Chains A and B, each alone.
Chain A
Amino acid sequence: MFSRAYRTAITLPPLVWVLVFLLIPYALLFCFSFWSVSPAQSIVHSWTFDNYRELLRVNVYLQTLFRSMWIAARVMLFSLLLGYPLAYYLSFHAGRRKDLFYQLVIIPLWVSYLVRAYAWKTILGSDGVLNTLLQYVHLTQHPLDFLLYSPFAVVLTLTHIYTPFAFLPIYASLEHIPPQLVEASQDLGASPFQTFWRVILPLSIPGVVAGATFSFVLSLGDFLAPLLLGGPSGIMISNIVVSLFGAAYNWPLGAAISFCMMVLVVALLFMSEKLEKKWSFR
Chain B
Amino acid sequence: MELPLRALESSVTASRWLPWHAALVFGFLYLPIVTLIVYSFNGSGVGGFPPRDLTLAWYRLLFADEAIWTSVLNSLLVAIAAVIISLGFGIPAALALDRANFPGKALFRRLVLLPLILPGIITGLSLLMLFREADIKLSLLTIALGHGTALISVATTEVFAGLQKLDRSQEEASLDLGANYWQTFRHVTLPNLRLSIIGAALLIFTLSMDEIAVSFFLIGRDNTLPLEIWGRLRRGITPEINAISSIIFVFSLFAILIWYRLRVASEVQPEIAAELLESPAQGD
Contacts and interface: CB of A to CB of B under 8 A. Distances in A.
Interface in A168-184: 168-169, 171-173, 175, 179, 182-183
Q: Please provide the 9 A-B residue pairs with the shortest distance between their CB atoms, ordered closest to farther.
A: A221-B119, A25-B126, A119-B32, A192-B13, A168-B273, A14-B93, A172-B274, A172-B271, A7-B100
B30 A85 contact: no
B89 A129 contact: no
B125 A114 contact: no
B260 to A, nearest CB: 6
B11 A183 contact: yes
B48 A127 contact: yes
Nearest to A224: B212
B56 interface: no
Interface string A1-38: 11101110111011101100111111011001000000
Contact of A111 (B6, B114, B249): B249
A118 B111 contact: no
Interface residues of A, number: 113
B54 interface: no
Interface of A: 1-3, 5-7, 9-11, 13-15, 17-18, 21-26, 28-29, 32, 82-83, 85-86, 88-90, 92-95, 101-108, 110-116, 118-123, 125, 127-129, 131-133, 136, 160, 163-165, 168-169, 171-173, 175, 179, 182-183, 186-187, 189, 192-193, 195-196, 200, 206-207, 210-211, 213-214, 217-218, 220-224, 228, 238, 241-242, 245, 251, 254-255, 258, 261-262, 265, 269, 272-273, 276
B256 A133 contact: no
A35 B6 CA distance: 68
Given A14-B152, A21-B149, A25-B130, A273 B33 contact: no
B108 interface: yes
B265 interface: no
- Residue of A123, A164, A272 with highest tally of chain B CB at under 10 A: A123
A116 B172 CA distance: 49
B112 A18 contact: yes
Contacts of A17: 89, 149, 152
Interface residues of B, number: 99
21 contacts: A1-B171, A10-B92, A10-B100, A11-B102, A17-B152, A18-B93, A21-B127, A32-B129, A92-B8, A112-B209, A116-B32, A118-B237, A132-B48, A163-B25, A172-B271, A172-B273, A182-B8, A238-B119, A238-B121, A258-B121, A269-B117
Interface in B95-145: 95-96, 99-102, 108, 111-112, 114-115, 117-123, 125-130, 133, 145
Contacts of A14: 89-90, 92-93, 96, 108, 112, 152
A110 B253 CA distance: 8
B84 interface: no
Nearest to A103: B260
Nearest to A191: B13
B197 interface: no
Contacts of A273: 277, 279
A259 to B, nearest CB: 9
A92 to B, nearest CB: 4
Contacts of A222: 119
B253 A107 contact: yes
A45 to B, nearest CB: 9
A226 to B, nearest CB: 12
B164 interface: no
Given A90-B22, A121-B237, A168-B273, 14 more contacts: A5-B181, A7-B96, A21-B145, A32-B129, A95-B9, A106-B256, A112-B245, A132-B49, A136-B49, A182-B8, A183-B5, A195-B13, A272-B277, A276-B277
Contacts of B181: 2-3, 5-6, 9
Contacts of A13: 88-89, 92
Contact of B248 (A115, A133, A228, A269): A115
A160 B273 CA distance: 16
Given A93-B18, A112-B248, A169 B273 contact: yes
A92 B127 contact: no
A105 B256 CA distance: 12
A189 B22 CA distance: 29
A23 B111 contact: yes
B35 A119 contact: yes
Given A114-B212, A123-B31, A164-B29, A10 B248 contact: no
A127 B217 contact: no
